Amino acid sequence: MDKTHPLFAGRRRFVQEQLPEDGIALFFSAEPRIRSNDVHYRFRQDSDFYYLTGFDEEASVLVLTRETQSLYLRVRDRSREIWDGPRLGVERAAETLAVDAAKPIDEFAKDLPELLKNKSALYYAFGLYAERDARVLGAARELLQRSRGTDYGPGRIVAPSLLLHEMRLIKAPYEIELLRECARITENGHRALLERTRPGMYEYELEAILLYEFRRERAEEGYPSIVASGPNACILHHIKNDRQLNDGDLVLVDAGAERDFMTADVTRTFPAGESFSAAQRDVYAAVLEAQERAIARTVAGSNIDDVHAATLRDLVQSLIDLGALKGGLDENLENKKYRNFYMHRTGHWLGTDVHDVGPYYDRGKPRPFQNGMVCTVEPGLYFSPDDPEAPAHLRGIGVRIEDDVLVNGAKPIALTASIPKQIHEIEALRKEALALAKR
């Protein structure tokens, strides 16, 4: 998105309007992180900072008051730009980013006491970086201790998430279009796996196919891709991706593309060979039915807890039908023995972060879905290979099916619905793919 896009300016203005007359908000860019020795991970901007600025350089601070918007950032430095790439620079920043003023980041520490002077409330995300806290909170404390005459410092520290994360929860039309684009790219990756997966391949080869499909579209992984074959599908966050696929395995792939600071989050489960076994088919059908019912329940006025509770009832009844649980539905819900086979929630918020921000509760009660919210719907059933409580014929089977759902009145929109998940679709694609491989 263009850095001067009115969406960023509108967000900043909204935050300014929420500040008290003598309040100030500081938003810091992400810190670079070391991967090994002196080699850094690829830089990824802090989500809140990007949400307000559209600016993706490190060593930057956005300062907002009721009246002003200013940005501290790195100066141009040809010697460093040769190594690390071009910088926006102070001279162009105010116009490019549509803020009132821009200053060198090296002046921030010197300016900080003056910025905080005569401010009653400081909006600052404390607790993330000790060195940063020492500088910012130390300056605030010193002002409080040394206040003279009419000068004073902030006596109240407020988490800016109380303002921003409520904003981020409701997606703007532009963000919804970005999510649709992420869904399209993610579909390319999942379809490529249905077409190219062969028994004998390794999980990391499938991961490489996904990454190729994402990167060729100027996207990347929104989170480390889970490629879990056979018993690995019963490990919820399996990211080693090092096992060889066998004919007869199921392959659970949890992967989503991120572009322009929005991400998809999709899980599909398919056979490494041509078709599901009878036991695999039964488990898959149970999860798919529960997932489709959960999507239909994701409507304005409902809430994520109600969707989970209803989906849990569906899955527990299926576990009884599959012979994994004994007794009645209510009895099994009460004793929670289902947690051997279903141990996570049915969904979470989605957006700039894969587990996106925003409150799930309002004064202790689940907050109702509103139009513009986006969440995942991802039930699953997992029968660990070494679980003596699991029926022998189900052990080693893990199935999860996940889509990204936009709340839209009484008609939820599954943004990722075109990624195949029906049994007949998956088996047709797998049979065609393996037939082509034999030619």
Active-site annotation holder among 265, 292, 314, 403: 265
Active-site annotation holder among 91, 330, 355, 432: 355
For this structure, is 424 an active site residue? no
For this structure, is 40 an active site residue? no
Q: How far is CA 383 from CA 130, 243, 338, 364, in A?
A: 43, 18, 11, 34
Active-site annotation holder among 51, 72, 284, 382: 382
For this structure, is 237 an active site residue? yes
Active-site annotation holder among 344, 345, 367, 393: 344
Active-site annotation holder among 254, 258, 282, 404: 254
Active-site annotation holder among 249, 378, 404, 427: 378
For this structure, is 190 an active site residue? no
Active-site annotation holder among 48, 400, 403, 404: 400
For 208-211, the CB contacts below 8 A with 24+ separation are 210/253, 210/255
Active-site annotation holder among 74, 348, 404, 427: 348
Q: How far is CA 206 from CA 42, 229, 242, 415, in A?
A: 22, 10, 10, 23
For this structure, is 344 an active site residue? yes
For this structure, is 306 an active site residue? no
How far apart CA 49 and CA 73 sit, in angstroms, is: 13
Q: How far is CA 66 from CA 161, 260, 266, in A?
A: 17, 28, 40
For this structure, is 175 an active site residue? no
Neighbour tally for 417: CB within 10 Å: 14
Neighbour tally for 398: CB within 10 Å: 28
Q: What are phi and psi of 402, to 5 degrees?
A: -135, 135
Residues comprising the chain, all counted: 439
β-bridge mates for residue 102, sequence order:
71
Active-site annotation holder among 17, 38, 67, 131: 38
Q: How far is CA 87 from CA 34, 77, 218, in A?
A: 21, 8, 21
Active-site annotation holder among 42, 78, 148, 237: 237
For this structure, is 254 an active site residue? yes
What's the gap between Cα 194 and its chain centre?
24
For this structure, is 378 an active site residue? yes
Active-site annotation holder among 221, 258, 402, 403: 402
Lookup result for tokens 């077409």? 195
Active site residues: 38, 237, 254, 265, 344, 348, 355, 378, 382, 400, 402
